Amino acid sequence: MDHEQHEAIARWERRWLSVAGLMSLAFVILITIALATEGTHIAQRSSRAAPAQLTSLELFANPGVTALGPGRYRVAVVAQSFTFTPSEIRLPVGAEAEFYLTSRDVLHGFQIQSTAVNVEVIPGEVSYLRYTFDQPGEYRVSCNEYCGIGHQNMIAKVSVVPSSQLAQAEAAPAAAPGEAVFTANCAACHQANGQGVPGAFPPLAGHAADLAAADRSYPLAVVLHGLQGPISVAGTTYNGVMPAWGQLSDEQIAEVLNYITTGWDSEAALGEGFAPYTADEVAVERANARTPTDVHALREQLGLE
């Protein structure tokens, strides 16, 4: 290579380096502008929260909205495949919300539509950010980190309403208790109509009643301890992982079991004289230390199909 070729190469290298340097500078300027004027925050890791200990942390034992002072609210949210708890966050117009977010299992995202709120939710850590909701409306919340087969169903909403309406909603009677638990925790996978998603999430409509009729303690074990292993329902094979829902209270689990075994016109499959599940029954099963694989072994013993 002669001297002229060397010069040409060096010239091009300098040009590319300048372009890369200018791009880095442009990104730093854009981020600074977003931080200063667009309400963008850098999420802070204010504390840690071990996934297994969330139920014993004051902040996450009962996630939801807590009033901190006039117009100020603390919003604790737990993400878990494939739900956010709570699934609806209600705030008055003008509320200054302090979000504390954590994950019970894998990395999730928490993005509130039409706002600057977009943060990663990391197991073991607490993401903190503030946002003031000046405009009333329903803001969709979605998970924007791929977290598994039900990722696209992982949604929640923030309802920003006039304060008068907020008080009314709190005074109104809640929906059937089991249905509320189901909608908040189970419907993302098993669907509101209980039909599941063929090949991904097994149906509950009719099937939960069949299982309860075969062995009433089995559905209890599935909800409390989870289920892992291949199963077959109505000729379709499922090999996903049902997470354990032990963070729900004994009452909530009894309510949701009664909902899924009698809902969608499935009482007939339960048979005559099937007594509703009780919180005491849940407490008894809770004392058994079972893994999701143990629960799969229980299912094999039911002799279904």
**Six token digits for residue 211:** 């299982």
Residue 104 touches ligand CUA, criterion: CB under 6 A: no
Choice between 81 and 261, CB closer to ligand CUA: 81
Choice between 141 and 181, CB closer to ligand CUA: 141
190 alpha-carbon distance from chain centroid: 14
Size of the site for ligand CUA (CB under 6 A): 8
Kindly tell me which residue out of 97, 101, 154, 223 binds ligand CUA, with binding defined by CB under 6 A.
154
Residue 146 touches ligand CUA, criterion: CB under 6 A: yes
Query: Least separation, in Å, of the C-beta of 146 and ligand CUA?
Result: 6
Burial class (CB in 10 A: 0-12, 13-18, 19+), 301: exposed
Choice between 82 and 133, CB closer to ligand CUA: 82
Choice between 143 and 211, CB closer to ligand CUA: 143
What pairs with residue 46 in β-bridges? none
Choice between 150 and 206, CB closer to ligand CUA: 150
For 220-241, give one letter per residue: b (16+ CB within 10 A) or e. Answer: bbbbbbbbbbebebeeeebebe
Choice between 126 and 161, CB closer to ligand CUA: 126
Span of 51-59, 139-147, 210-218, 291-299 interacting with ligand CUA by CB under 6 A? 139-147
CA 262 – CA 189 distance, rounded (Å): 19
Choice between 141 and 160, CB closer to ligand CUA: 141
Specify the DSSP class assigned to residue 115: S
Residue 147 touches ligand CUA, criterion: CB under 6 A: yes
Residue 105 touches ligand CUA, criterion: CB under 6 A: no
Residue 108 touches ligand CUA, criterion: CB under 6 A: yes
Query: Least separation, in Å, of the C-beta of 110 and ligand CUA?
Result: 9
Choice between 60 and 218, CB closer to ligand CUA: 60
Q: One symbol per residue from 54 to 93: x for binding ligand CUA (CB under 6 A), - otherwise; what is it?
A: ----------------------------x-----------
Burial class (CB in 10 A: 0-12, 13-18, 19+), 133: buried
Query: Least separation, in Å, of the C-beta of 89 and ligand CUA?
Result: 17
What contacts 294, CB < 8 A, 6 or more positions away? 225
| Polymer length in residues for the chain | 305
CA 12 – CA 84 distance, rounded (Å): 51
How far apart, in Å, do the first and last CA atoms of the chain sit?
Answer: 77
CA 91 – CA 169 distance, rounded (Å): 11
CA 51 – CA 223 distance, rounded (Å): 18
Residue 120 touches ligand CUA, criterion: CB under 6 A: no
Query: Least separation, in Å, of the C-beta of 113 and ligand CUA?
Result: 15
What contacts 68, CB < 8 A, 6 or more positions away? 74, 98
Query: Least separation, in Å, of the C-beta of 45 and ligand CUA?
Result: 19
Residue 123 touches ligand CUA, criterion: CB under 6 A: no
Q: Determine phi and psi for 155, rounding to 5 degrees.
A: -135, 160
Q: Rule CB under 6 A: which residues touch ligand CUA? A: 82, 108, 143, 145-147, 151, 154
